[in-house]
Amino acid sequence: MRQSRIYRNVRLGIKTLLLHKLRSMLTMLGVVFGVGSVIAMLAIGEGSKEEALAQIRKLGARNIIISTVKPAAEELTTTSGRSHMSIYGLLYLDEQRIAETMPSVVRTVPARMLKKDARLGKQKMELRVVGTTPAWFDLVRRPMIAGRALNQEDMRDSSASLVLSEHAARRLLATKNTIGQKIVVSGSVFTVVGIVQSESGHGGALQTPDQRTDAYIPINTCRQHFGEIIVERSVGSGKREMVELHQILVEVESMDDVESTADAVENMLSRFHTKEDYMLSVPLALLRQAEAEKRIWNLVLGSIAGISLLVGGIGIMNIMLASVTERTREIGVRRAIGAKQRQIIMQFLIETVVLSTIGGMIGIAFGIAIPWAVETLTGMMTIVPLYSIVLSLGISVGVGVVFGLYPAMRAAKLDPIVALRHE
């Protein structure tokens, strides 16, 4: 009996709204845009932040990245035009100290990066040669597209094995069989043994050596073939630098020890480096910061979209108040034949909830379509979280109840005699 009464009231509410189709549609627009903007904003925000978080996670939550930085004093000396040898940066001894004195450190990976001209037949290009160890491919996880990574035999024999990044392989080996090709790098012949997937990564302190046209070789091979001194020549001047290591990756045993280990490494390096020629980056700390920013970003976007829902709610209240005025005589007739106040309140509430619910459902479709269009047209990642759909629909129904309650109570409190006399 109760269910049939509710069904009858809902059907009556829909019928009443259909009597004024244009007005009902315009009233719903505020809710439609409000719900749609909530979902779309959260989806775009969630996608962009997840992309950033994924890049940070790939660097390893248990890793610490130590990078060589050229001191400002060395920059001034280099640009002055005088013949000068700049000596700065991380040392092999730094890696050894970290590996031997830090109990929480599992392993360390050195990396030395040099720009060298490479040639395969008539194809020429500039490569960034990265001298490192096989452990680099474990710490900075990148899928192997073809062939293999560097191994311990390459290290032991100081072999001329070379692993290309995907970008380098596409440019240098576009029309060749990849594995086994001989590439001449700055006069030395190397054999391609594998191709590793490239990543876009991050700039600055988080830059890992797979963002450009990179080639990986054993670090001892790098020292033998290219030496310790970097020489860059230009018209009328030259630049010489001695940098032993450009980067040291440190893997820590537990995520709980990462930040304390980073502080210990910082203190140790400060004792042995008189220049500010290094910089530490902790992906775990950046991950936490990015997650906190993501929460704030979602809160801001949700608040902005919530204003749209508020405006939609005010529109519903305005229209329902006008409806009460228009239907004063109808309310008087219903009260005169025995309708109770709660029945009048329920009738008007049902109409507002129907308005807001239909508007909310259209808004959900609208909100899902926008991120899809953004991702299709721009390639930007978007993620529509389930909670945003549930939250938006719940808020839209809540808006209908809250903003429809006052007009409904006002209608219920009308004096039946006065209402019947209303023209």
Per-residue model confidence (pLDDT) at position 22: 77
- Above pLDDT 90, what percent of the chain? 13
Distance of CA 101 to the CA centre of its chain: 36
Per-residue model confidence (pLDDT) at position 204: 41
For residue 42, pLDDT beyond 50: yes
Per-residue model confidence (pLDDT) at position 397: 79
Greatest mean pLDDT range, 233-247, 323-337, 367-381: 367-381
Greatest mean pLDDT range, 45-49, 87-91, 208-212: 87-91
How deeply is 100 buried, as exposed, middle or buried, from its count of CB atoms within 10 A (0-12, 13-18, 19+)?
Answer: exposed
Alpha helices in 59-165 (DSSP H): 72-79, 92-101, 136-139, 152-157
Per-residue model confidence (pLDDT) at position 219: 93
Confidence of residue 393 (pLDDT cuts 50, 70, 90): confident
pLDDT digits (tens, 9 = 90+) for 156-197: 998 999 999 888 888 777 656 678 888 899 889 999 999 998
Per-residue model confidence (pLDDT) at position 203: 41
Residue 279: φ, ψ to 5°: -150, 135
Per-residue model confidence (pLDDT) at position 201: 46
Average pLDDT over residues 33-44: 82
Per-residue model confidence (pLDDT) at position 335: 65
Per-residue model confidence (pLDDT) at position 267: 92
Per-residue model confidence (pLDDT) at position 396: 78
pLDDT digits (tens, 9 = 90+) for 74-83: 665 555 555 5
The residue that leads in pLDDT, 298 or 369, is 369
Greatest mean pLDDT range, 55-69, 217-231, 409-423: 217-231
Tokens of 404: 């429809």
Per-residue model confidence (pLDDT) at position 217: 94
pLDDT digits (tens, 9 = 90+) for 316-327: 777 777 766 666
Per-residue model confidence (pLDDT) at position 338: 67
For residue 15, pLDDT beyond 50: yes
Average pLDDT over residues 94-120: 90
For residue 420, pLDDT beyond 60: no
List C-alpha distances in Å: 367 to 11, 29, 36, 40: 27, 13, 4, 5
Per-residue model confidence (pLDDT) at position 125: 85
Residue 218: φ, ψ to 5°: -60, 140
Per-residue model confidence (pLDDT) at position 5: 64
Per-residue model confidence (pLDDT) at position 327: 64
Confidence of residue 150 (pLDDT cuts 50, 70, 90): very high
Mean pLDDT over each residue of the chain, to the nearest integer = 78
For residue 419, pLDDT beyond 60: no
pLDDT digits (tens, 9 = 90+) for 324-338: 666 666 666 666 676
Q: What DSSP assignment string belongs to 323-381? A: HHHHTHHHHHHHHHTT--HHHHHHHHHHHHHHHHHHHHHHHHHHHHHHHHHHHHHH---
For residue 147, pLDDT beyond 50: yes
Average pLDDT over residues 56-62: 71
Angle, to 10 degrees, between the axis of helix 341-378 and the axis of helix 283-326?
140
